[in-house]
Amino acid sequence: MGREDEIIKERIRKLEELKEQKINPYPSKFDKKQDVFECLKSKLNSKVKTAGRLMSKRDLGKIAFANLRDFSGDAQIVFQDRETPNKSFNFFKNYIDSGDFVGVEGKIIKTKTGQISILVKSIEILSKSILPLPEKYHGLQDEEEKFRKRYLDILMNPEIKEMFVKKAEFWNVVRKFLTEKGFLEVETPILETSAGGAAATPFVTHYNSLDIDVFLRISMGELWQKKLMVAGYEKTFEIGRQFRNEGMDMEHLQDYTQMEFYWAYANFEDGMKLVEELYKKLAKEILGTLKFETHGYKVNLGSKWNEYDYEKTIKKFTDLDIYKANEKEIIKKLEELNVEYKRGVDKWRLIDSLWKYCRKKIAGPGFLINQPIELAPLAKRNEEDKRKVEQFQVIIAGTELGNGYSELNDALDQEERFKRQVELKGKGDKESMEHDKGFVEALKYGMPPVCGFGFSERVFSYLINKPIRECVMFPLMKPLEEEK
C-alpha cells in the first residue's frame, strides 16, 4: 500500500468515527460572520467567526498551528493549551486534516513572532476531504494534469486564482465601457441554420425537434446584430461564447468568449478611435499601466497608433506585389520564407498567409487597413480603391487582437459576394461563408451605415502575457481511457 493509499484509508476511518459519534462531516450550513481578510483587519481580542479550507497543519503538542484559506486570503489559526478548550483542541488533533473545510470561532491575537492570528475557541468540520492536497512546494507539475485538475491548480496557486478574477474584471470593463457609450447589450442565437458572420469552419449538431442540422455560431451574432440595425437599434453589443472547429495553438481555441459591437451612422475610422480608447481603458484597469511586455514584444498603448497598409506592408517585408503576383509566385515566396499555408485554396488565402508572416514583425500598437475585398465578404468597399475594403484590425505584439469594418449595406453587392463565397466552398475552401438569403433580404429593406467590431479573450491573454489556453478555467481535454 502506497503512502497516498494509507492517507486515504486513515481519512475514511476518521470519517466513519465522526458518523458513529453522530457528528455530520458534511453539514449544509455554517454561519460565517467574517471572511479571512476581515478577520485579519479586526482589532486585537475581537471575536470572529469564519470558515475556509485548512491548507496546512502543524501540531507541536501544547500548541498547534494551521493555515486557513478562503476566497479573500489566508490566515493562521492557533490552538493553545489552556486557551483553546480541550474538546476543540482534541477534535482538531484527532479528526482534522489539511484539505478539510472547517468553521472556527475565536479571537484575534498577535503571536510572539508578531503574526496576526485567530486563537480558536471552537471548531466545526464542514467538509471532510478524502484525497490529500498536492504538496505545498511542488504542487501539480504536469501541464496536462494542471488543466485536468484545474480546481487544484487554482487552489494551490493564488496567482492563477487572481488571473481569473482579472479576467472577470476584463469583461466587466468592456461591458461598462460600452454601456456608458450608449450601447445596448443583446443576446443572439448560438444555434444557427447557416454559419455566418465569419470565415471559419463550424461545429455541426442535430436539432431533434425540427429534424435539421444546425451550426454552433462562428461569430458573435454579426448577421443578427446587423438585422437589429435594420430594425432600428443604433448601438448594440454582445459578449458570449462562440465556436470554431479548427486547430488549437497559443492564440486559438475552438470555443471561447467573444465581444462584438455594431454602431449605426459610424464608419471604420470612428471604430478605430473608439477601439483605441477601449484598449487603453482595459490596460489601465487590468494592468495599471499602458506599457507592458507580452509574447516577446514591448508594447506601449500610450504611443501613437500607426496605420499599416495591407498591400504596402507585404511589399515592404516580402518585396511581393499582391495584386500583380500569381499563385505560383506567391507559393514560391511562402516556401522561400518557410511559411506554412493551406494547399488547394485561392490566391487570396495564400496572400493572407503571407500577411501573417509580415504581421509578426510589427509590435504595434496600430491598425491594419486596406485589406483586399476577397478577404472581407461583409465589409464596405473603399471608395478610392474598389479592390480594397474599409476594414481595420488591431495589431499588437505581432498578432491580430480585434477586427472591424464599415459594414456592407448594399444588398445586391452583398448577394454577389455571398455567391462568390459559395463558389469557393464548392472548390474545397471550408472556411468560405454560406449564402445567407435571410440576411440579404433584411438588407434589401435598408440598413444605415454601420461600423462593426469584435475581439476575443485573446486580448486578455496578451495583456497578461500568457497562452490563451492557460487563461481558460476548464479547457476541453481529451478523456483519459479510464474516464471513457
The rounded mean pLDDT for the chain is 92
CA distance 433 to 314: 25
Residue 434: the pLDDT is 62
Contacts of 180 (CB under 8 A, 6+ apart): none
Between 260 and 374, the more confident residue is: 260
User: What DSSP string describes 24-86?
Assistant: -SS-S-----S-HHHHHHSPTT-EEEEEEEEEEEEE-SSEEEEEEEETTEEEEEEEETTTS-H
Helix (H, G, I), strand (E, B) or coil at 287: helix
Residue 25: the pLDDT is 97
244 and 201 Cβ atoms separated by less than 8 Å: yes
Residue 141: the pLDDT is 67
Residue 138: the pLDDT is 57
Taking the alpha carbons of 95, 98, 100, 103 in that order, is the dihedral positive or negative? positive
Query: With 70 as the cut, is the pLDDT of residue 428 above it?
Result: no
Query: With 90 as the cut, is the pLDDT of residue 175 above it?
Result: yes
pTM recorded for the entire structure: 0.89
At 431-480, the pLDDT tens digits run: 555 667 888 999 999 999 999 999 999 999 999 999 999 999 998 888 88
Residue 154: the pLDDT is 93
Pull the grid cell for residue 133.
Answer: 492536497
Which has the minimum average pLDDT: 68-72, 136-140, 156-160, 352-356?
136-140
Query: With 70 as the cut, is the pLDDT of residue 140 above it?
Result: no
